[in-house]
Structure 1
Amino acid sequence: MAKNSSKKSEGVKKPEKVFRIGFVSASVFAHEIETDEGPITIRSVNVQKRYKDGDDVKYTSSFNLAELPQAVRALQLAQGYVERAEVEMILD
């Protein structure tokens, strides 16, 4: 059972941070895991492109040549965010 979630959003994990450039976005997700030293937060990044197919909005992880710079920049921003979050971890 998910912690602190309403029935509407049950099972759907929202990103901690999203970096969007044009139709390309890099989403950072935080996951808490248990270790022998206690709980720690690890992060993962998902990169995707939003597009329309008729009236439907869809997402893909495929990029054409013109979209690659946007994907690279969104990933760079996400990398910086994750690095700052990891650096600020308090270790006992």
Structure 2
Amino acid sequence: MAKKSAKRNSNNPPEKVFRIGFITASVFGHEIETDEGPITVRSVNVQKRYKDGEDVKYTSSFNLAELPQAIRVLQMAQGYVERAEAEIFLD
């Protein structure tokens, strides 16, 4: 299983994080300009936390037993993004 280390970017912290066990889905908001004004679009990052000796690392690789957790955190993130992006604010 290929593993890679990821650093957390403190300049753009996640808007929301869903966690089951060591699997997380992080939702990030990105503001873009449209003809109607700025809107926020969201992206989702899924990863697993693990320890390599004393170091904490992250990977986007999952084994068979971890797939249900990855699917569930993605479903939770999907529901959050759908609700957040479906909201319309009227002036």
Asked if these proteins are the same fold (TM beyond 0.5), I'd say yes
Structure-2 separation of matches of 1:48 and 1:89: 31
Give the match for residue 80 of structure 1: 79
Q: Which residue identity lines up with residue 19 of structure 2 in the other structure?
A: R
1:32/1:82 CA distance change after superposition, 3 Å: same
Structure 1 ranges of 4+ moved more than 2 A:
89-92
Counterpart of 1:13 in 2: which secondary structure? coil
Identity percentage over the alignment?
81
Q: Which residue of 2 aligns with 1:4?
A: none
Residue 13 (structure 1) aligned with residue 21 (structure 2): no
Structure-1 residue corresponding to 2:58: 59
Q: Which amino acid aligns with 1:40?
A: I
Q: Distance in 1 between matches of 2:90 and 2:33?
A: 14
Gaps of 5+ in 1: 1-9
How far apart, in 1, do the equivalents of 2:88 and 2:53 lie? Answer: 45
What stretches of structure 2 of length at least 5 have no aligned partner? 1-8
Match of 1:36 in 2: 35
Alpha carbon RMSD of aligned pairs, Å?
Answer: 1.6
Q: Count the aligned residue pairs.
A: 83
What TM-score comes out, normalization by structure 2 length? 0.85
CA distance in 2, matches of 1:89, 1:45: 21
Between 1 and 2, higher relative CO (CA 8 Å, sep ≥ 6) is seen in 2
What is the match of residue 90 of structure 1? 89
